[in-house]
Amino acid sequence: MTESIPEGFAPWRPSSPFMTHLADLGALYRRDTDNVLALRVNHAHTNMHGMAHGGLLATLADSALGFTIAEQAQVSIVTVQMSVEYLSAVQPGDWLEAHVQIDKQGKRLIYAHCLLRVDGRVMLKANAVFAVRAAPSPVSDG
């Protein structure tokens, strides 16, 4: 198990209270060039089977989706719907990256997907729909 952080990633401290709490379980990282969020999975992230908890994975996907969409579209959004496919177990020590792609952007709804990857292998796929908030507010960071 390596603890090194891949080149291009820097510590990321979100401003939302929930994501700050999540970051307290283990540092979150961001690569500015493509807004990839990542973390080194540790024991605090595991379930009773010793693998990363599904709730952690879904939360990371939802937060990465929200952060990336808000950054790229410069709008305030909320999650309307998200479906998750757990494809493979994520283990302590894994470097887990969240890659987001916006599929379609309308005036009121934005469709996107997130792939959580370990060493290039897709571990989780999330498809989501976000609603653009009418009232302006700060750009979300997850």
Overall number of domains in the chain: 1
In a domain, 75, yes or no: yes
46: tokens are: 């595991």
Its domain, for residue 40, covers: 9-132
pLDDT in tens, 21-76: 878 777 899 998 998 999 999 999 999 999 999 999 999 999 999 999 999 999 99
Residue 65 lies in a domain: yes
Q: Is residue 46 part of a domain?
A: yes
Q: What is the pLDDT of residues 16-35, one digit of tens each?
A: 888 888 787 778 999 989 98
**Mean pLDDT across the chain, nearest whole number?**
92
Band of pLDDT at residue 141, cut at 50, 70 and 90: low
The span from the CA of 12 to the CA of 33, in Å, is 14
pLDDT at 100 over 80: yes
The mean pLDDT of 110-134, rounded to a whole number, is 98
pLDDT band at 104 (very low <50, low <70, confident <90, very high): very high
The mean per-residue pLDDT over the stretch 99-125 comes to: 98
C-alpha span between 15 and 133 (Å, rounded): 19
Domain-located, residue 105: yes
Question: For residue 138, is pLDDT > 80?
Answer: no
Residue 52 within any structural domain of the chain? yes
Cα–Cα dist 16/47, whole Å: 24
Amino acid type, 113 = H
Tell me the whole-structure pTM to 2 decimals.
Answer: 0.89
- Whether the pLDDT of residue 137 is over 50: the answer is yes
Residue 1 has pLDDT above 60, yes or no: no
CATH assignment at residue 74: 3.10.129.10
Give domain status of residue 13, yes or no.
yes
- What is the reported pLDDT for 114? 99
User: For residues 110 and 53, what is the distance between their CA atoms, to the nearest angstrom?
Assistant: 27
Specify if 61 maps to a domain: yes
Q: Does residue 142 lie within any of the structural domains?
A: no
Average pLDDT, integer, range 8-12: 92
